[in-house]
Amino acid sequence: MITTFPLGSYKGRIENIAAYIRCGKQVFRSINNRPANPRTFSQMRQRTKLSNILSTYRILSSFVRESYQTRPPSLTAYNVFVKNNLKATEVFLDKGEALAEACMVVEFNISEGTLPTIETTVSGNRLVTSLQLPLGVSINEATTLGEVSFSLVGCNASLRYGDKISILYLMQVRPQREINFYMPHAELKLYEFVLKPDSRIPFYTLVDERLFRVKDGYIGTDEYVGEGAVGYYVHSRKTKRCTEYSTQSLVLLPGTVLCRTYGSVKKSYEAVANYGAKERVRVESGKLKVESEELKKDKVTAVKVDTNKRMDTIETKGRDFVKEQLKTERGKKVKGEEKREARK
């Protein structure tokens, strides 16, 4: 229900009524406080996926709060991060792992914007980007930021001086086997530099050299980075109106395999069972079928209630029919007696 509020705007909730402002208008919306079954298999499966996304957002929040250039004003960066990654990622955590803020590294979306995307592909044991450098150019400890900036701007039409390049390395940390309660988690390594042609700063003091290697004229990782995912590269540019970003997602390093275990069908069933879904799950003919025990009970109860109502209706109609019959017979008797008296 959309209406105007006589005493200004109101935001909040009163019992099952929520109030908020949308497009300058006061909106009142009712909320269902008693859903039929808030613990179905689908709902609990969604919650097990949400835990990993929330753990990742806590780690990336300082960056992604500003990196969604095209998000609607009505949505926060948190809303967009969850919306973009809820369907794209398949990792399931049980209650214990969620409480411990465990985190599995997968290919999370980390930015949205109007600048061209820097593409990243897997090549053997390396990640290779679409960023080019002149053939024969190499980067070593003596190479300066100015030299790298000159080469990047000269070979990539989408780059300009003053642009910022951000490299996010979300490192997967495995649990130690000797510690049973220790959960897998992630650590963020963020490297940023601005393209400046006159900078004399040694380039590898700004960036991990394992994440910025040159091979066959393209920028990429080396073969010894480890396990995790890399955001190659978030390209941002400041304008008078706003800061523009490229749309980027993390790309898994070739040696990252832990997410496969936590994204399996078996793990999803275990996590949902741990949350206490009130359903029985079975697989028939390759298709997942979910049968709700509570729904079955509700159906049986509904049938019983419907049957009782029908019986009550039949009994009521039967009683009414008998009453009508009695009234008719009484009426006939009265009329017969009146005729007899009239003849006398």
Read off the pLDDT of residues 15-69 as tens digits, 9 standing for 90 and up. Answer: 778 888 887 788 888 887 776 666 777 788 888 899 999 999 999 999 999 999 9
The helix (run of H) or strand (run of E) holding residue 252 is strand 251-252
- pLDDT category at 278 given cuts 50, 70, 90 is low
Q: Are 233 and 150 in contact (CB under 8 A)?
A: no
The pLDDT score that the predictor gives to residue 317 is 47
pLDDT per position as a tens digit, 98-153: 888 899 999 999 999 999 999 999 999 999 999 999 988 999 999 999 999 999 99
Least confident of 183-187, 244-248, 275-279, 312-316: 312-316
Nearest to 209 by CA among 195, 194, 191: 191
Bridge partners, 252 (sequence order): 229
Q: Are 100 and 183 in contact (CB under 8 A)?
A: yes
Average pLDDT (264-279) is 82
The pLDDT score that the predictor gives to residue 297 is 52
Q: Give me the phi and psi of 272, to 5 degrees please.
A: -65, -40
Q: How far apart are CA 35 and CA 47, in angstroms?
A: 16
Can you give the pTM of this predicted structure?
0.69
pLDDT per position as a tens digit, 140-199: 999 999 999 999 999 999 999 999 999 999 999 887 665 556 788 999 999 999 999 999
- Give every CB contact of residue 203 below 8 A, 6+ residues apart in sequence: 139, 143, 144, 145, 147, 148, 193, 212
Q: Are 90 and 107 in contact (CB under 8 A)?
A: no
The pLDDT score that the predictor gives to residue 276 is 76
Average pLDDT (83-89) is 90
The pLDDT score that the predictor gives to residue 54 is 94
Whether residue 232 has pLDDT greater than 80 = no
The pLDDT score that the predictor gives to residue 283 is 43
The pLDDT score that the predictor gives to residue 151 is 96
CA atoms within 13 A on the CB side of 26: 12
Segment of 76-85, 252-261, 310-319 carrying the highest mean pLDDT: 76-85
The residue ranking higher by pLDDT, 86 or 316, is 86
